[in-house]
Amino acid sequence: MRIGVYVCHCGLNIAGVLDPQDLSEFAGTLPDVEVARDIQFTCSDTGQETIKEDIVEHKLDGVVVAACSPRLHEPTFRKVIADAGMNPFLLEMANIREQCSWVHMEEPARAQEKAKDLIRMAVAKAALLNPLVGEVMPVSQDVLVIGGGVAGIQAALDLADSGLRVYLVERKPTIGGYMALLTDVFPTNDCSICVLAPKMTDVYNHPLITLISYAEILNIEGSVGRFTVSGIKKARFVDESLCKGCINDCAAVCPVEVPDEYQFGLGKRKAIYMPIPQSVPLVVCIDPQACVGCGLCAEACPVDAVKYDQEPEEFKFDVGAIIVATGWKPFDPARKEEFGYGRYKDVITGLQMERLLNAAGPTRGEVVRPSTGEIARSIAFIQCVGSRDHTVGNVYCSRVCCMYALKNAQLVKEKDPDADITIHYIDMRAGGEGYEEFYERAQRLGINFVRGRVSEVQEVDGGLVLTYEDTLLGRFRNSRYDLVCLSTGLEANSDADVVGNILGLAKRPDGFFEIAHPKMRPVEAHIDGVFIAGCASGPKEIQVSIAQGGAAAAKALRLLSRGELALDPVTAMVDTDKCIGCKLCVEICPSKAISVERTAMVDEASCKGCGTCAAACPVDAIDMRLFSDEQILAQVRAATATKREYPFIVGFLCNWCSYAGADLAGTSRIQYPPNMRVIRVMCVGRVDPSFVIEALRNGADGVLISGCRLGECHYDKGNYQAYQRVQVLRGVLEAVGVNPKRVKIIWCAASEGEILAKEMRTFVDELKEIGSIGDELKGGSA
């Protein structure tokens, strides 16, 4: 190897504490180093030119820059060496500014020793770097949108309007989702279907959208850029191309009546039916469970569209990206037995109230008591039914129930100003533009609010009696109402489990699909090329679902717009000779990038390079192209070559949080003892126990592993994996006579430089207490 080492002064930022000339002289003595220089500002044009000239002149095949954090200038120097004709992955940086000169300002001599170690480590790794080439892959520019609710509709329209072909797959006979069944919507009380129907029609008419309704997805294969989707379109027993949507002729003669699921059981429909008047496609459907096969509809149909022998049709197509907009399902309030839903006819759900209030609903907009058909004059709304409730396993707030109850209460009050309406709540939640104003409007209309969760509803003499404590007055009450409306919450749609399982989507404890980052990546799944929009990832208002549909479309467009994907070469690779096909890696991979036939295979388009699989592989058959076992072990050995500190610590910090946190300690000039030599890994899930053992065997007194805070891992759960491995390793160490407290695992966010510094100080003290590792090594066999 012929390595060039460049030690930066960074003005006085580095040179004010360290001696760069001494460092470059030291570097010159290291094996494989061809040339070593100290430079005032390495990132300046002059600095860059020096490196480029050396590469040519000395025929370098490795470059080490000892300067600032690689998180700052790694891209800069990769470009510099690439410009000089070298592979950009033959660069390694030694972070002697953020993690050395800025944090050990009071102890220049010890800092100088640390800087030497850091350079030795970087040179050791550089000697083992391989040229890597990122491949470019052509991709399909078509997109699959799963679910035709408002989020899916918005995503499909935005993509198609941008010129991409969209397949919109909906399992029901019509698109529109729950929004199509609501009456007016908050906070403006405008008609829901009036604003949605035009979008539904646009979907139908758009030349770039293929709408596949009444269909199920059965399989999805492949990965980002080249998914293959297959499924079936169920038989409607009606020819979609012939049906004119006139409905009256066929349904009028049908003798079978069943409860109408589109009225939530309040009304009836026929066995041949149009789901809703605004159905898209405007085609009837025969319910095979209800149909008696009498043939009357076929006779009545003027265009002979009824086809009793229609078979399900299979479909199959390729797409580059997938948007999951599978929505939600209503909580079943019969599970809260104390509220009497299902036992008492006049206890209804929020969705049933929507239908009662809807002019196209079963009562043409009259809010009646289902038991008698009389107008309900007194109505209670009970909030948080199935939400914020451990007894049914739903800890979360469903976010929309306060607002929809306020809205429905207003609509009733506007029709009947004398109606007696009370909302029983725990906390009214009206956060959103115009929402608090909406709450106030309800108060002004004369709607009562009682703070206190209703404990039970009982039917007494034909009325419904609610028992509750008015917690603001501290009084117990029994109040009687004509009608009780349960503000039922939103649950994860269990119908989406099939798609979730096929795609390998992660679920949160609340049952909804998990997004890649709770804040920064709101519409991305953990799987490359898969996006999530709307209530599939948790309860949301209509406006947020629409925003997410648009956002997911934009993300898919960004991914596919060039028609090709540049693949990051920092991926895992499998030694098929070693692999035993145990599938441990398949389970552990957060990106579902590994599959096993006989041996494991890594899909490089999907692999994010976290390295958890490499650490988990029981036979060391998986390695990383960068951050390889060999490279990291070389860093460990280089770090422990002289050990001019006591206690001596080797650290493994994850790139995204902890390494960034350590950099922040530097930029904030937070001082901590210079006892640690840091090895950067992409994720702490990469830390193989053999790295830790190697460090201890070579005389490190302690090993610190620091990852993202639990729940914040950039690769989903790499930090949990690391935690488990550390627990096991500690047991092993104890068994061989090494104090398990020598291995410490902590969590540190990118914003927590102070925490990292504090943990360092504590760990140094703890290790001093434990003592040098020397004695333990003699006794044990570690």
Partner 1 sequence: MNEFTKEVLRLAGDEVKTCIQCGTCSASCPTAHLMDNSIRKLVKFVLEGMKDEALNSRSIWLCTSCLACTVRCPRGIRPMAVVSALKQIYEAEGMRNRDSIHEEIFNRHIKERGRVSEFFLSAEYMLRNPQSAAQIISFGAELIPRGKIDIEIRPDSIEGRDEVKRIFEELGGA
Partner 2 sequence: MKLAYYPGCVARATGKEYEISTRSVCSALGIELEEIDDWNCCGATHVSNELVAVGLAARNLARTELPVMTGCSICYSKLRSAVLRLEDNGVKRKVNSVLEREYTGAEVKHLIEVIMEVLEGADDGVIASLEGLKVAPYYGCLLTRPCGGIDSPENPAVLEKLLRTLGAEPVDFRLKMKCCGGPIFMTEEAAASDTAFKILECAKESGADAIMVVCPLCHLMLDANQHAMEKKFGAEIDLPVLYVTQLTGLALGLGVEELGMGMNSVSPAPVLEKLEAARGAEEEEGEVC
Q: Which residues bind partner 1 (CB under 8 A)?
A: 338, 384, 388-391, 426-427, 451-456, 467-471, 474, 476
What is the nearest approach in angstroms of partner 1 to the Cβ of residue 468? 5
Rounded to whole angstroms, how far apart are CA atoms 532 and 552? 7
What is the nearest approach in angstroms of partner 1 to the Cβ of residue 296? 51
Toward partner 2, which CB reaches closer, 458 or 668?
458
Binding mask 375-414 for partner 2 (x = CB under 8 A): ----------------x-----------------------
Rounded to whole angstroms, how far apart are CA atoms 177 and 153? 9
What is the nearest approach in angstroms of partner 1 to the Cβ of residue 388? 6
Residue 388 binding target from partner 2, partner 1, none, CB below 5 to 8 Å by type? partner 1
**What amino acid occupies position 612?**
T
User: 327 in the Ramachandran plot: left (φ > 0), alpha (ψ -120 to 50) or beta?
Assistant: left
Query: Using N-to-C axis directions, what is the helix angle for 658-667 and 753-770, rounded to 10°?
Result: 100
Task: Name the residue with tokens 């460092």.
Answer: 23
Rounded to whole angstroms, how far apart are CA atoms 46 and 361? 76
Rounded to whole angstroms, how far apart are CA atoms 507 and 515? 9
Classify residue 82 by burial, with Cβ atoms within 10 Å: 0-12, 13-18, 19+: middle
Residue 81 binding target from partner 1, partner 2, none, CB below 5 to 8 Å by type? none
Residue 343 binding target from partner 1, partner 2, none, CB below 5 to 8 Å by type? partner 2
Q: Which of 280, 244, 318, 274 has the alpha carbon at shortest distance from 153?
A: 280
- Tell me the site size for partner 2, rule CB under 8 A: 8
Check binding of 669 to partner 2 (CB under 8 A).
Answer: no
Name 286's Cβ contacts closer than 8 Å, sequence gap at least 6. 236, 237, 238, 271, 272, 297, 306, 308
Interface positions, 340-369, toward partner 2 (CB under 8 A): 343
**What amino acid occupies position 418?**
D
What is the nearest approach in angstroms of partner 2 to the Cβ of residue 734? 22
What is the nearest approach in angstroms of partner 1 to the Cβ of residue 460? 16
Rounded to whole angstroms, how far apart are CA atoms 573 and 611? 10
Toward partner 2, which CB reaches closer, 285 or 347?
347
Toward partner 2, which CB reaches closer, 216 or 459?
459
Check binding of 460 to partner 2 (CB under 8 A).
Answer: yes
Residue 467 binding target from partner 1, partner 2, none, CB below 5 to 8 Å by type? partner 1
Q: Which of 339, 347, 341, 353 has the alpha carbon at shortest distance from 371?
A: 347
Toward partner 1, which CB reaches closer, 252 or 472?
472
Classify residue 542 by burial, with Cβ atoms within 10 Å: 0-12, 13-18, 19+: buried
What is the nearest approach in angstroms of partner 2 to the Cβ of residue 414? 35
Check binding of 221 to partner 2 (CB under 8 A).
Answer: no
Interacting stretch for partner 2, rule CB under 8 A, among 148-156, 433-441, 456-464, 577-585?
Answer: 456-464
228, 316 contact by CB (below 8 A): yes
Toward partner 2, which CB reaches closer, 339 or 652?
339
Rounded to whole angstroms, how far apart are CA atoms 350 and 372? 19
Rounded to whole angstroms, how far apart are CA atoms 145 and 532? 10
Interacting stretch for partner 2, rule CB under 8 A, among 252-260, 336-344, 525-533, 690-698?
Answer: 336-344
Check binding of 458 to partner 2 (CB under 8 A).
Answer: yes
Q: Which of 53, 314, 338, 734 binds partner 2 (CB under 8 A)?
A: 338
Residue 390 binding target from partner 2, partner 1, none, CB below 5 to 8 Å by type? partner 1
Residue 458 binding target from partner 1, partner 2, none, CB below 5 to 8 Å by type? partner 2
Rounded to whole angstroms, how far apart are CA atoms 616 and 589? 10
Residue 494 binding target from partner 1, partner 2, none, CB below 5 to 8 Å by type? none
* SS3 sequence of 22-44: HHHHHHHCCCCEEEEEEECCCCC
Toward partner 2, which CB reaches closer, 432 or 463?
463
Toward partner 1, which CB reaches closer, 390 or 778?
390
Check binding of 467 to partner 2 (CB under 8 A).
Answer: no
Rounded to whole angstroms, how far apart are CA atoms 271 and 124? 75
Chain contacts with partner 2 (rule: CB under 8 A): 336-338, 343, 391, 456, 458, 460
